[in-house]
Structure formats: C-alpha cells, structure tokens
Amino acid sequence: MTPPTNEELLAFLEEQLSAERMAEIEQALRSDVDLQQRLAGVVRQHDPGAHSVGAIWRRRRLSCPSRSELGSFLLGALEPIRAEYIEFHLRVIGCRYCAANLSDLEQEAGDQAEEVTRRRQKFFQSSAGHLANDEE
C-alpha cells in the first residue's frame, strides 16, 4: 500500500474515498503508530469551517455528475467524452456518492422493467377473451 497523503487522510475522515482505499487506510491505521499520529495531526489542523478551494470542491461535490447525467450514462446517451469522464469518476476516483446514486438508478430501472413486463402480461391476459376466433 502506498502511504496516504494528508488529503487522503482528510478524505478518509469524511468517507470520501473508495471502499477499497478506505479499507487499506483503516488496516494501516490499526498497526502503524506514525500514521495514527499523522491522522491526529490532520484532525487538529483541519478546521471544519475552512473554506479552501479543495474543501469547497469536495464538500459541494463539484466534480460529481448530476443524477440525470448518471441516468443518461446508464442509457448510453452521453457524448463519448462525458461518458469516459463518468466512467473515470466512478471507477478510478471511486466516488462512493456517485456509485450509490448509480446503483439506485440501476435498481430503479430494473424495477421499472419488471413493472412494464407485469403490466404487459396483465393487458394480454385481459384481452385474450376479446380476440376474434377466425375458425368460427
């Protein structure tokens, strides 16, 4: 594991890292006293009211795509460059917020597909008696 930067430690505290990276840092913190001291130093130096560009960027999720953009990504309806960015944002950066949003949209799409199938089946079942019998 590469040692985490102070920015990563701060993101760790705010649960803004990928699940894998969070687990790596947590495991390292259990046995590395120096890392524990660095984390304590980051906590002391971090002012929750700080307004640095980086802090605002992370807090406001300025690099995160909107929910409608994630929906378009699922449908394959985005321009290739934007789709590549969202893929990068989800897979490389590992944004947990967007991954959860995407998972929710996937579940919603699956639920809607099941509902459409169910409605279609009911429609055909209720219409079966109204079909003309050509043999009569």
41 and 83 fall within a common domain: no
19 and 55 fall within a common domain: yes
Do 15 and 96 meet the contact criterion of CB atoms below 8 Å apart?
Answer: yes
Q: pLDDT tens digits, residue range 78-108? A: 999 999 999 999 998 888 899 999 999 999 9
16 part of a folded domain: yes
Question: What gap in Å lies between CA 109 and CA 106, rounded to an integer?
Answer: 5
Domain containing 87 equals 63-128
Q: pLDDT tens digits, residue range 5-47? A: 998 998 888 888 888 899 999 999 999 999 999 999 988 887 6
Amino acid at 34: D
**Which residue would you say has higher pLDDT here, 58 or 82?**
82
Residue 72 backbone phi and psi in degrees, to 5? -65, -35
76 part of a folded domain: yes
Could you say which of 45, 62, 79 is where a domain stops? 62
74 and 50 fall within a common domain: no
Number of domains composing the chain: 2
69 and 54 fall within a common domain: no
As given in the structure block, the two tokens for residue 76 are 């394959």
15 and 44 fall within a common domain: yes
pLDDT at 43: 86
As given in the structure block, the two tokens for residue 110 are 């699956």
51 part of a folded domain: yes
120 part of a folded domain: yes
49 and 93 fall within a common domain: no
pLDDT at 133: 54
